Amino acid sequence: MLISGFAFVPAELSTSGGRVTWTNKDDAPHTVTFDDASIASSGNLAKGQTFSATFSGTGTYAYKCTIHPSMTGKVTVK
Ligand SMILES: [Cu+2]
């Protein structure tokens, strides 16, 4: 998963579970912060930094960048 052009790419990911990793390709810092606060937030990611989250249960997990709240994404675990 990329963070590029002030967007999560792809914005929606479908997966059977496991680990998902985001890499910030922008010069600006971004976060990956889930609505479900039980999933740890990335904190600020500088350019080139990565963040991984592991999903163990099925469901849809919405997230956003807290610095730029118009940046949103979803991970669906089937
Ligand atoms: Cu951002």
Is pLDDT at 32 greater than 90 in this prediction?
yes
Residue 26 Cα to ligand 1 middle (Å): 9
pLDDT at residue 18 is higher than 90: no
The count of domains in the chain is 1
14 in any annotated domain: yes
Nearest Cα to Cα of residue 54 among 71, 77, 74, 30: 77
Compute the distance between CA of residue 72 and CA of residue 18 in angstroms, rounded to an integer: 20
Q: What is the CATH number of the domain that holds 57?
A: 2.60.40.420
Residue 50 lies in a domain: yes
Largest CA distance in the chain: 33
**% residues pLDDT > 90 (the chain):** 95
* CA of 77 relative to ligand 1 center, distance in Å: 23
Percent of the chain with pLDDT over 70: 100
Task: Determine the structural domain holding residue 42 and report its residue range.
Answer: 2-73
Residue 25 lies in a domain: yes
**Interval between CA 71 and ligand 1 midpoint (Å):** 6
- pLDDT score recorded for residue 5: 98
Instruction: Evaluate whether residue 78 is within a structural domain.
Output: no
Given a cut of 90, whether residue 56 has pLDDT beyond it is no
Is 67 domain-assigned?
Answer: yes
Q: What is the pLDDT confidence band of residue 37, given thresholds at 50, 70 and 90?
A: very high
Q: How far is the CA of 58 from the centre of ligand 1 (A)?
A: 26
- Ligand 1: distance of its center to the CA of 57 in Å? 26
User: What distance lies between CA 3 and its chain's CA centroid?
Assistant: 8
